[in-house]
Structure 1
């Protein structure tokens, strides 16, 4: 019997009552502190590269993990109950978004839609059904290039800001809009395109530094960023299942999402800052990532027969 069948035939309710003390929401000052902590670790790795050049490959992996963590921190900010970008969110975007070619607006656009349309044809994150390896390999290669694609997204967004006719291409190709609606006059798409200016300016600054110090920028920033991009692509495949149209119920979420990366390799690179606890994140999207372990432990205690085991992808 498949897992979905066993869950469907169970007595699980559509939702469950979780103790309020476990449903702790992220706070912006704490997210800024987390981003500064990651920058401190990256700076320490840069110093390590200078002092111990032979350990450079190890430091590249460590930096890649911290860059991946930037995306997780920005992801927590996306779930804040706000509609407009405050100065605090802009500061966090500068610390944790621009360095990995992400903006709060763009991530908020496609990620909140992912939660709302989880597992449906409107969900841009849905995994394709399993198939021959020659179909899987191209998908894997595309996902490895996520961050370079985000860099192109910034340039396209600026063009769409100036040329309204390009907003449909920008929204569908780079913001992963699957609605089929005309996006030319969408205020949200326009806000996303305007927000690209900051990350494009940072990338131009990186290019200027690379012109002066090509090796240092290449090994200390570009190479770790590409490794982080590959780790992010792996994570997107690992945390979702091919099952579609299961509904936003407890049964549906348990069937269409998966936990992963709970070991040391996950903490280091593949799923930093608890982002691998993906099932409870979908059950309670507004709970801070730092509080997901306690929440997952509660579900394991109360629904041990239904909560899936971590996925090894």
Structure 2
């Protein structure tokens, strides 16, 4: 007889290790070093290695987004200098801000699988429909680039804020928090300045910016689209219990391909991340092992590819 699930599991405290701003900055420095390696290959290696270099840079951009995502779950909301720096080096390159990601991502965790979930996955519809959904999701990060100037307009023009929240912050609640939306709109200034700088570089060195940043960013958006489809299910849920999380999330990208680009920094350990979102991504493997050992009949099997 399969034992029933408790509402929540009694996890040892030593497994619940949170992220820190300093730790995330160190990891961001590693990802920037990886991008520098990819750019060096583009500049000096034979052209046959260019696709591999694009893949490396795209994977590191995706990893920067994962680090920003980890920062969203930090308990502190203070704008200390380390978080400001992390936002600049991990958020702006992927066209996001802490405020914007916090807006839609925390609502996703609160309402995962429910009608108000910003990332709620529609029912499965075969490979063709999945491919179409992936194609639509590829436009998410390029759309974030557009979100910046629209957000600045919404900051100055209050009547645009509801549309900005629904179109670019994925608000499905029907009750837009005006103060939080205004803060998100104001925060767009930094990423707009960043991309104006990229545009200025593109005028001077168009080919370098195209292959060193624009194409990898689009590939990274493809990785992100795949991840969103892989880590959620369309299973109906009624609440936020352990069983609900097991039903609507799944792990993926546990192999080398995931580590390189599709699910870097253990972000593919999505089930335990939903159970304990404030646990650092670097500590999720031990936490997952604990859950798999104690709930072997219930813990969902990872998605393989």
Normalised by the shorter chain, which TM-score bucket? over 0.9
Deviation of 1:199 after TM superposition, in Å, equals 0.4
Deviation of 1:53 after TM superposition, in Å, equals 3.2
Q: Which residue of 2 aligns with 1:75?
A: 69
Please list every run of at least 4 consecutive aligned residues from structure 1 whose deviation after the TM superposition is greater than 3 angstroms: 132-138
Aligned 8 A contact 2:237 2:247 in 1:
no
Deviation of 1:244 after TM superposition, in Å, equals 2.5
Structure 1 residues 235 and 182, CA, compared in 2 at 3 Å: closer, same or farther? closer
CA distance in 1, matches of 2:24, 2:113: 29
Establish whether residue 49 from structure 1 lines up as the match of residue 55 from structure 2: no
Deviation of 1:86 after TM superposition, in Å, equals 2.2
Aligned 8 A contact 1:119 1:126 in 2:
yes
Aligned 8 A contact 1:35 1:73 in 2:
yes
Q: Which residue of 2 aligns with 1:25?
A: 18
TM value normalised by structure 2: 0.96
CA distance in 2, matches of 1:291, 1:33: 15
Deviation of 1:136 after TM superposition, in Å, equals 3.7
Q: Where does the alignment leave 5 or more consecutive residues of structure 1 unmatched?
A: 1-5
Per-residue CA deviation, residues 223-255 of structure 1 (Å, 9 max, x unaligned), is 111000000001000000001224211111001
Q: Which residue of 1 aligns with 2:198?
A: 206
Per-residue CA deviation, residues 148-199 of structure 1 (Å, 9 max, x unaligned), is 011111111011001000000100111011111255xx11111100000000
Q: For residues 1-313 of structure 1, what are the structure 2 equivalents within 5 Å?
A: 10-54=3-47, 55-131=49-125, 135-183=129-177, 186-312=178-304
Aligned 8 A contact 1:246 1:255 in 2:
no
CA distance in 2, matches of 1:187, 1:98: 22
Aligned 8 A contact 1:110 1:175 in 2:
yes
Alpha carbon RMSD of aligned pairs, Å? Answer: 1.4
Per-residue CA deviation, residues 33-56 of structure 1 (Å, 9 max, x unaligned), is 111111111112211221213211
Per-residue CA deviation, residues 84-139 of structure 1 (Å, 9 max, x unaligned), is 32222111000100011010000000000001111110001111001255644432
Aligned 8 A contact 1:246 1:256 in 2:
no
Q: Where does the alignment leave 5 or more consecutive residues of structure 2 unmatched?
A: none
Aligned 8 A contact 2:58 2:219 in 1:
yes
CA distance in 1, matches of 2:236, 2:104: 18
Aligned 8 A contact 2:97 2:187 in 1:
yes
Larger deviation, residues 250-259 vs 47-56: 47-56
Aligned 8 A contact 2:165 2:176 in 1:
no
TM value normalised by structure 1: 0.94
